[in-house]
Amino acid sequence: MADIPGGLLDLYDITLPHVHRYLSAHCGARGLVEDLTAETFLAAVDAVRREDPPTLSVP
């Protein structure tokens, strides 16, 4: 994980409970919630690895 920007790790720490809670409320199935939570953050890692990464922010 050395190539993951520190800002993304901070964003992960801040938003993980919110993302997990949101998905739990809308999906219900624990396994699906865990998978979707992981996929959400994998997509974020892929996004910041792009040549022109998006700005990280929390609404």
Q: Residue 18 and residue 46: Cα distance in Å, rounded?
A: 20
Supply the pTM of this predicted model.
0.72
Look up residue 36 and give its DSSP letter.
H
Please check the confidence at residue 33 and state whether its pLDDT lies above 70: yes
3-class DSSP assignment, residue 55: coil
Helices (H) and strands (E) in the chain, counts: 2, 0
Distances (CA, A) of 49 to 6, 7, 43: 13, 13, 10
Each domain of the chain, given as residue ranges in start order, spans 6-48
**Portion of the chain with pLDDT greater than 90, in percent:** 41
* Residue carrying structure tokens 């809670």: 21
Over residues 11-28, the pLDDT tens digits come to 888 899 999 999 999 998
